[in-house]
Chain A
Amino acid sequence: MISEDGSEQVIVRLDGVRKEYGDSVALDGVSLEIRAGEAVAVMGPSGCGKSTLLNMIAGLDRPTAGSVFVDGEDLAQLNETGLALYRRRRIGMVFQFFNLIDDLPALDNVALAAQLTGTSAAQARKRALELLDELGIADRRNVYPAALSGGERQRVAVARALMNRPALLLADEPTGALDSHAGEQVMDLLIDLNQIGQTLLMVTHDPRLATRCASRLIEVADGRLVRESALERTP
């Protein structure tokens, strides 16, 4: 979807998105556009609705009102199966607490994402191994998540998210559960990915992560966007 002024393609467009949980309002009329190749950081106090925002974009939950378009797809038009296909093809997700499948070793955790799209097991493993190699954890491929360090787990999670070459990478406090060294490594990883063109939307508490990785900062409070600013990246 090319916009009228001919600038980069809009990957994400939110229009008046509202989300209520019972009586409480988690998102209160959020509108937002993200263009291809951008790296956007979302910041705000705990409980302000950052994760909810990400979940709306990932199609993990549906808004009470408003619309979400991602990569030309109107998520409201998709049924549950449609949303699953959308998640596996268009987006990759990284969580604060990794959310790896404990029953599978690192390599299979990553390969599983490709197998879902119909790739053969052998092919999927080959690509998974390449990714793990790129992320510097190929030697840990046969280790189960419980035995991996936090940084290693998050790198496995990133590899899994990248497996199907997503149009959009979503990260919810990707360094939130990591020590500063592991956090640095993940940050570098995200910067590298964005530099080779990966569109990135990340939620963080860490101003360093925002300023190092993001080109734009969105601040959220009480379910509303309160400020938007362009960032000069500080390498």
Chain B
Amino acid sequence: MSGAVWRASRAAVRRRRLQTFVIGLVVLTSTVALVVALGLLDAASAPFDRTFDQQRGAHLVATFDPAKATDAQLAQAAHQPGVTDVAGPFAQVVLTAPPDRAAPAAGVDTPPPGPITVVGRADPGGPVDRVDVWSGRWVTGPGEVVVMRPPGEHWGANEEVGSRLILPGAPPLTIVGFASSLSQTAGAWVSPDQMPALHPTATQLLLRFAHAGSDSQVRAGLTAVTAGLPQDSLLGSLSYLTVKQDMTSTANAYVPFLMAFGVLGLVVAVLIVANVVSGAVVSGSRHIGVLKAIGFTPNQVVAVYLVMVLVPGVVGCVLGTVLGVLAAHPLLHMVFAGFDYGYFTATLSPWVVVLTLLGMPVVVLLAALVPALRAHRLSAARAISAGSAPGTGRGLRVQRRLSGTRLPRAVSLGLGLPFARPGRTAMTLTALVLGVTTVTFAGGLSSSVAAYTDAARDHVQSVSYVGDAGVGQVEPKLTDAQIEAKLRSLPGALHVTAAAPVELRMTGGSQVVRGWFLRGDSADMSSAMVKGRWMKGPGEVVVGTPFVRKHHLAVGDHFTLALDGRQQSVTIVGETVTGDADRVDATWETLTAFAPDRSSSRYVNQYWVQLAHGADVGAFDNAVKAAEPGLNPSESGDVNSVTVTIVGSSSVLTLLLTTVAALGVFNTAVLNTRERRRDLGMLKSIGMTPRQVMVMVVTSMAALGLVGGLLGVPLGIVAHRLIVPSMVEAVGSSLPAAMMQVWHAPTLTLLVLAGVAIAVLGALVPARSAARLTIAEVLRSE
């Protein structure tokens, strides 16, 4: 680069402090938004798979009966061509934590009641299921235990390294560490030497297959392994696909919103940077003319302008990346800890940082290049006279017509100003429309997220599972009806539903769906409806959008369900926001119709309870356990924290985007008005009072702001209408129309006024400094 180019650009960067500062700030804020948005996009796209791959999770956890298959037989059986990696065999036992929830002694951990799987394992690493020991250390010998917990969760009382874990049928064990396994292979691990004292009842084999993309592939893998083993030696198996479905269904529901924010952040950051940078070039046309007149070649002029915006651009990008990384970490953690219980390590991928650091300067460069190339072509004579060129014909005509109106002259002049310089007016208007559209869209998105979160929220706070003697649990003494009545009578209970999950066949006989037959207050506890209504009578069912999509059915359609050879035609009366592709919710009467000769009660395996507002779930669960030891109550996922984190993170993004948009508008207004300082001085010289000058400037910007707002608000609403449903649709869900109606006239009015206010503020800053200068100074400064 020649010395002259460097000198001219350095001087421009140093002396145009406001412009340099605003470009830097816009790039910085946009970069922060970009890092956060890309981080969210990345983390939301495959949270399960990433962590699963990191931990080399087990595609299948299979448990065998040690009395029927020896360890040697299992090791031999796992040796199959489709099996890529094996861990185990590990001895396993299921112990049941006592229901007693009385205050434990100091230093004693009482885990939540219910079964807990204990596995003997010498090493957290290995070829499969590399358990993440996130606190303390692994077991080294008998008397020690590592408890399975995702980071940041606390499930039991006094649960900390050094506490003693008391489990029935086991000697006291000291907790030496906490670890998390996405494959959920155990609730606690002990040293293999410890196992004989615990009397293992099963042997665990962890497998990874070459092909494990679908249920049938995983099943085929299992069949190959069990083929050579004695009959009935397989006790149970857990496919990673089931775990994934369980863990990611909530997260998946939010992916479209995070995607929308990510994409929006990206687009807005790029557009605003482009607008601000082009503004700098467009407003510099006289400067360009001077450079050309003294002999700068067109390429040298382009170089001056590129350097001029790249310096603050690169500084803003680097600082923004640093801030973005700092902001993204807690934000990602908060968002993901909210809905997947902390299993997923939502870290910012290095590619996000690399892409931002390389991409943002390129964006700035490209944004500057287009107007800079215009400067390249601009005739020097035209550029140099730009500051004092006469108004265009159209501008004069508008001005003449306005002066005929009865408006005060300052106001009519102000209204005419935008027409005098159509190029710069277009620039300002673009910034305004973009800003208002962004804020409208982001605000609407954030409201839709809040509405969706609220609708999708589980209305169940406590689920009581019926004890199963088959796995060593106590069975209830009360009958199904008595349990329901008992639960209703407990303090805090608001609504109670008995739920009976039953596997059913759909028409054609090949498709298996899970029917949830509900009795009690299901109507009061249902999630929001996309279409139709909640079920009422026999033969009525409600399904989720994924079901409707998968089976090509709609509300009002009929299909046939079969159970134990009996068939029944059912009608879809409603479609819910939540739900999965193979779930059908049906009324109790429908189940009774399937099994008229037998008691339908035997299918009920859980009771859902919605508690009165403010009731304590722990206290309620203790009351359940006390009333019927055959019930295993547990707290239903803390979905309120999901609401908080999702709404919180979308607010953070909305705020960031709003800031970027406001800065863009402010900057353009400043540049636009500064350009006119000479005109202002001229008007003062012919007798306009400073007040009239202010009125004129405010009128001109307010008019632009109003037009920008009136264009931007509908654009934002249209964008919201088009983008949000299609993003939700992309994950096989849908939004009820009510959740798209997030707009209210007062908010929108406020939004337009905010746009006007920012534009006026941006205009007032340079107008006031111009007003403070003497007329001579203003006129001379050109």
Contact = CB atoms under 8 A, between A and B. Distances in A.
A104 B298 contact: no
Interface stretch (A81-89, A199-207, A224-232): A81-89
A60 B379 contact: yes
A221 B603 CA distance: 105
B380 interface: yes
B299 interface: yes
Interface string A74-107: 0000001100110111000101010111111000
Contacts of B3: 115, 120-121
Given A84-B300, A115-B2, A58 B293 contact: yes
Nearest to B297: A84
A163 to B, nearest CB: 9
B384 A116 contact: no
A38 interface: no
Contacts of B11: 101, 103-104, 108
Q: Report whether over half of chain B's contact residues are helix, strand or loop; otherwise say mixed.
A: helix
Contacts of A60: 292-293, 379-381, 384
A112 interface: yes
B780 A108 contact: no
B4 A116 contact: yes
A108 B7 contact: yes
A216 interface: no
Given A103-B11, A146-B781, A116 B380 contact: no
A164 B16 CA distance: 28
Contacts of B2: 115-116, 118
B3 to A, nearest CB: 5
Contact of B290 (A58, A62, A99, A164): A99
Contacts of B299: 81
B14 interface: yes
Given A80-B297, A84-B300, A97-B782, A61 B290 contact: no
Contacts of B289: 99
Given A61-B381, A116-B4, A103 B12 contact: yes
A104 B8 contact: yes
A87 B379 contact: no
B50 interface: no
Nearest to B390: A47
A211 interface: no
B770 interface: no
A99 B293 contact: yes
A170 to B, nearest CB: 10
B15 interface: yes
B294 A160 contact: yes
A84 B298 contact: yes
B295 interface: yes
B297 A85 contact: yes
Nearest to B388: A97
Contacts of B287: 101-102
A183 B110 CA distance: 97
A166 B16 CA distance: 31
B551 to A, nearest CB: 67
A196 B385 CA distance: 32
A127 to B, nearest CB: 14
B502 to A, nearest CB: 79
A51 B293 CA distance: 14
B365 to A, nearest CB: 21
Contact of A112 (B294, B298, B385, B781): B294
Interface in B347-393: 376, 379-382, 384-385, 387-388
Interface string B104-140: 0000000000000000000000000000000000000
B14 A101 contact: no
Nearest to A119: B3
Contact of B15 (A81, A103, A121): A103
A103 B382 CA distance: 21
A87 B300 CA distance: 14
Interface string B1-28: 0111001100110111000000000000
A95 B384 contact: yes
A62 B299 CA distance: 19
Contacts of A185: none
Interface in B270-304: 286-287, 289-300
A118 B380 CA distance: 22
A215 interface: no
Contacts of B286: 99
B297 A81 contact: yes
Contact of A88 (B15, B295, B380, B384): B295
Nearest to A112: B4
B297 A101 contact: no
Contacts of A102: 15, 287, 781
Interface string B293-326: 1111111100000000000000000000000000
Contact of A100 (B290, B384, B387, B388): B290
Nearest to A93: B293
A58 B294 CA distance: 10
Given A55-B381, A81-B299, A115-B2, A101 B8 contact: yes
A51 B380 CA distance: 13
Contact of B16 (A52, A81, A84, A103): A103
A170 B298 CA distance: 21
Given A84-B297, A84-B300, A87-B294, A112 B379 contact: no
Nearest to B384: A99
Contact of A113 (B15, B294, B300, B781): B294
B682 to A, nearest CB: 13
Contact of B295 (A52, A97, A104, A116): A116
A148 B10 CA distance: 21
A55 B293 CA distance: 10
B685 to A, nearest CB: 14
B295 A85 contact: yes
- Which 8 residue pairs spanning A and B have beta carbons closest together? A88-B295, A103-B11, A61-B381, A84-B297, A103-B15, A115-B4, A60-B381, A60-B380
8 contacts: A84-B296, A88-B296, A99-B286, A101-B287, A103-B15, A113-B294, A113-B295, A120-B3
Given A60-B293, A102-B287, 8 more contacts: A84-B298, A88-B296, A97-B387, A97-B388, A97-B782, A99-B286, A103-B15, A112-B7
